[in-house]
Amino acid sequence: MTTDLSTESSPAEGSQTAVKGSERQNREPKLPRPVKAKAPPKPKPEPIPYRPTSNPGEDEQTAVHEVYEAIAPHFSQTRHKKPWPLISTFLHSLPPNSVGLDSGGGNGKYVPTAREAGVGLVVMDRSLGLLGDARRQPGFGLGKGKGKGKGREVEGDVAAYEVAGSDGSGECVRGDLTCEGWRRGVFDFAISIAAIHHLSTPLRRRRAVQVLLQPLVHAPKPPYARFMIYVWAYEQSSGSKRRMGATTGPPVPLTAETAARESAGTGEQEPAKVQDVLVPWVLQPPKAPRTPSTGESSGAAQSDEPVQVPAPEPQVLHRYYHLFVQGELRDLVVSAAKEDGYRVLGSTEGESGETEDESASEPLSSDTRWIKIRGVGWEADNWWIEGEVGIRPVSLPPV
């Protein structure tokens, strides 16, 4: 369910046309091309404020899961985009040979990063379409030498999906963000990147955090299991990548941005924050007519009008997002953990001077699971949080 914001941002239509034009003129120098007046750009679809209903499960089915299945092929073109740097840093900071869970990991975007970092990543997602991509990746936990897809048939067919350079054993499991189908104590780390914001109630978001922490190793001593969560922020920068990537992908949540700007600039009464929105995804028709080698396609690129089969209108699908405001992600994680009986240990870098250091020095009456927030921040229109969990046996003195 990972939402990739910088979708394949094709160059502006104008520059595309210019390049194609010169190529074409090299081949057929005679005729000046009639310049077609450009149609005024269609207004980009804007996010729509969303009111959760009494059936969040059904809402998410239509406003999240079905949309991801529909856009999966398009979405997966983003797979080779650069990983977000903080997540890469996080993965590289883990002890080698750690095994972790990527909950809502979609097409396995972080599997290659994890492999580089020498750690294993199991991808869990609800969308089979996205998982289909994730499973083509090589498996983890193998030696560096061979191990490239030497499939040997035992029963039935050797899988037909094996892809060059990959042994097709990327570990994938179909499950949603509240899937509890893991034994406890099996993962050294867990990430959930741009996924939890698709859950439409506070209760479900808390559940997702609890379920993310549940299968982690809770160790009495280092190395402790660690987690990282990313969600879309309500607070959007005006020149964000998200906005620039909006040519084919979801535009910046204008509703939220407008609201924020108004409240900041004009001194008017702050409008109610619209944190629950349906963000449009413009599903472009297939790009076959772009191939420069056929004359027809050049024509198509120049005229804005498909020449061959009339391309279908781009379809606009809406995905539900809950946009997190400052402090909300931390509160979510802390409250979810407390609800599950965790002690919250003092954090080193809280946001905006906020310190939470309760009970760290109190003696414990029994083995107690604890959580420590290692960092919270805003990056490129997202909020992230990183933390660790462990257990303090009653036999140990308090920290």
Partner 1 sequence: MVRLITHNMLACHVKNCTKDNFPLVFSEVELVIRESEANYDFLRRFMPKLDWPALVDTARSLGDETLPDDQPEEWTDEQLQALHHVLMEMHVEEGNMTCRGCGHVYPISNGIPNMLLAEHEVGR
Contacting positions for partner 1 (CB under 8 A): 57, 95-99, 120, 122, 124, 126, 128, 131-132, 135, 139-147, 149-159, 161, 167-176, 178-183, 185-187, 207, 215, 217
Q: For residues 87 and 109, what is the distance between their CA atoms, to the nearest angstrom?
A: 11
Please report how close the Cβ of residue 341 comes to partner 1 at its closest, in angstroms. 13
Minimum distance between the CB of residue 109 and partner 1, rounded to whole angstroms? Answer: 17
Residue 101 vs 371, nearer CB to partner 1: 101
Nearer to partner 1, 124 or 252 (CB): 124
- Angle of helix 295-303 relative to helix 13-27, nearest 10 degrees, comes to 140
- Using the minimum distance from each CB to partner 1, give the nearer residue, 216 or 385: 216
Q: Cβ–Cβ contacts within 10 Å for residue 281, how many?
A: 24
Helix H or strand E segment including 27: helix 13-27
The token duo for 363 is 């003696």
How far apart CA 397 and CA 364 sit, in angstroms, is: 9
Token pair belonging to 249: 């992908």
- Between 132 and 375, CB nearer to partner 1: 132
Using alpha carbons, select from 368, 333, 369, 367 the residue that is nearest to residue 350: 333
In the complex, minimum distance from the CB of residue 83 to partner 1, in angstroms, rounded to a whole number: 22
CA 75 distance to own-chain centroid: 11
Backbone angles phi, psi at 375, to 5 degrees: -175, 150
- As a whole number of angstroms, the distance between CA 311 and CA 208 comes to 40
Nearer to partner 1, 171 or 381 (CB): 171
Tell me the closest approach of the beta carbon of residue 186 to partner 1, in angstroms: 4
Residue 244 Cβ vs partner 1, minimum distance, rounded to whole Å: 34
CB of 106 to partner 1, least distance (A): 13
Considering the complex, state which of residue 11 and residue 393 has its C-beta at the smaller distance from partner 1: 393
24/126 with CB nearer partner 1: 126
Task: Tell me the CA distances in angstroms from 367 to 72, 83, 216, 218, one per residue in order.
Answer: 44, 38, 16, 11
In this structure, are residues 165 and 202 in contact, taking their beta carbons and an 8 Å threshold?
no
Q: Which CB sits closer to partner 1, 97 or 303?
A: 97
Q: In the numeric block, which tokens belong to residue 131?
A: 């998982």
Shortest Å distance, C-beta 226 to partner 1:
15
Helix (H) or strand (E) holding 295: helix 295-303
Angle in degrees, CA 226, 135, 127, rounded to 5 = 80
CB of 195 to partner 1, least distance (A): 15
Q: Which is nearer to partner 1, 98 or 297 (CB)?
A: 98
Q: Pick the closer one to partner 1 by CB: 186 or 325.
A: 186
Before 223, cis peptide (omega within 30)? yes
* 123 to 2, 135, 196, 366: CA distances (angstroms): 11, 9, 15, 34
Tokens of residue 3, six digits:
């939402």
- In terms of phi and psi (left: phi > 0; alpha: psi -120 to 50; beta: otherwise), the region of 232 is beta
Tell me the CA distances in angstroms from 267 to 57, 181, 272, one per residue in order: 39, 50, 14
CB of 101 to partner 1, least distance (A): 9
To partner 1, the closest distance from the beta carbon of 276 in angstroms equals: 20
